[in-house]
Amino acid sequence: MADILGLGLSHFPGPVVPVEHWPRMLERNMKVGRIPEPVFAAQSEWPGPMRDEWGDDDGLAAAHIHWRRLKAGFADLRRELDAFAPDFVLIWGDDQYENFRLDCVPAFCVYIFDQIMTRPLKGAGRPFLTDQNAWGLPADTEIPVTGHHQAAHTLCSALLNERFDLAYAYETKAPKGLAHSFSNTIIYLDHENAGRRFPYPVVPFHVNCYGNQLIKTAARLEDGDPISPPAPSPRRCFEIGQATARILADSPWRVALIASSSWSHASLTAKHDRLYPDIEADRSRFNDLREGRFADWGALDLKQIEDAGQNEILNWICLAGAMTELGQHVTTLDLVESYIFNSSKCFAVFPPTGEEARAR
C-alpha cells in the first residue's frame, strides 16, 4: 500500500503582492460594486472584531500579522512535504472563470500533462489595486509546472471505471495558464522562489466549487438574476476523495494530496453584504477537523455551505473523503481568521499511516 500525505492550505491571492497592499482589497470590492458603498463607509456599524482589525491604520498592522501566520503555515507544510518526498502532489482546486467559462464548466476535471507553462503574476495585483508583485518580477514571468502524465492518466481512467463522470484536459486556455488555485499553491509552497523551484510534479484536480455563483461572480450579476447550475454535492466530493485515495493507495507512487482553498469568503457571504466572512461557520468546521468529525463532511448541506460563503471548502471535502478512507488523522492545525482580508485560512496536516511512514 502506497503512503499518502494529506495537506490543507489556502490560495488567497494576498501573498502574491506586497503585504502593504492587502487592506485595499476591501476598497476594491467596494469600487467594483461587490460591497455596497454605504456599507463600506459605515465603519462604525462594522462588527467589533472587524473594527479592531481595521484599527487606526486601515488594517496595515493586521495585514503584517496575518502574513506572518500565513507564512509560518506555508513553511510548516513545505517541511512536511519535503520530509515525505512525494513522487507527485495532487491539488484539489477550483477554477474561477479562468479556463472553464461559458463553453463548458465540468464538475470535476483532471489535468493530464508532462509540463505546462503558467503565468501566475499576470494581473495578480488586481484584487489589491496594484501592479506590483512580491518579487518585483515582470508580470508575464512564465513558470514551468511539471506534471505526472502517467499518474494523472491512471487516476482519471480508474475514476471513470468507478462511474465518476470525470472530465480531463491536456492543456489550458486561460492567458495565465493554470487557475490560480493551483499556481498559487505552488508559489506559496516555494514562496522564496515564486514557485520557480518547486521540485514535485503536480496533478491539478479541478472542482467546480463556485457552482451557481460562477457566472454571477464573473458577470457581476445582482442577487436575484438568473444563475448557473449548482456545484457538485458535498457527498459527491467526499466520494470522489475516497475513490482517489483507494486508487492511489494501490499505486506504486508516494502521493501528497492537497486541498487548496480558503474557507468562508466575504465576497460570497451575501447575508453580510459581502463585507466580511462567516467566522462562526469557519470555527465550526475547524472544530470538526480538530475533533475528528471531518468524516461527516459528506453529509453537509450545499445550501448551508453557500449561505456561509464556504463554497471553496468543497476542495477540503474531497481531502476529508480521502483521509477518512485511509483512516488518517489530523496532527497540525491552524485557523487564521480575518474580517478584512476576505476569508479565513486553515492549515492542516494528515500524516501517512503506512508501514514505511511509521518506520521513519
Classify burial at 83, counting beta carbons within 10 Å of its beta carbon; exposed 0-12, middle 13-18, buried 19 or more: exposed
Q: Give percent of the chain with pLDDT exceeding 90.
A: 90
pLDDT classification of 214: cutoffs 50, 70, 90: confident
Every domain of the chain and the residues it spans: 4-359
pLDDT classification of 89: cutoffs 50, 70, 90: very high
pLDDT at 355: 41
pLDDT classification of 226: cutoffs 50, 70, 90: low
pLDDT at 102: 84
Give whole-number Cα distances, 108 to 3, 266, 355, in Å. Answer: 24, 25, 32
Residue 243 region by backbone torsions, left for phi larger than 0, else alpha for psi between -120 and 50, else beta: alpha
Q: What is the DSSP track for 25-42?
A: HHHHHHHTTSS-HHHHH-
Confidence check: pLDDT of 356 > 50: no
The string of pLDDT tens digits covering residues 238-277 is 999 999 999 999 999 999 999 999 999 999 999 999 999 9
- Sign (positive/negative) of CA torsion 297, 214, 38, 41? positive
Classify burial at 192, counting beta carbons within 10 Å of its beta carbon; exposed 0-12, middle 13-18, buried 19 or more: exposed
- Whether 186 contacts 206, CB under 8 Å: no
The string of pLDDT tens digits covering residues 131-167 is 999 999 999 999 999 999 999 999 999 999 999 999 9
- CATH number for 4-359: choose from 2.30.30.30, 3.30.70.890, 3.40.830.10, 3.40.50.300: 3.40.830.10
Confidence check: pLDDT of 222 > 70: no
Residue-wise burial string across 97-109, b where 16 or more C-beta atoms lie within 10 A, e elsewhere = bbbbeeeebbbbb
pLDDT at 224: 55
* Residue 208, C-beta contacts closer than 8 angstroms, at least 6 positions apart: 94, 95, 100, 105, 106, 107, 108, 214, 231, 232
The whole-model pTM stands at 0.95
pLDDT at 49: 97
Confidence check: pLDDT of 215 > 90: no
Confidence check: pLDDT of 360 > 80: no
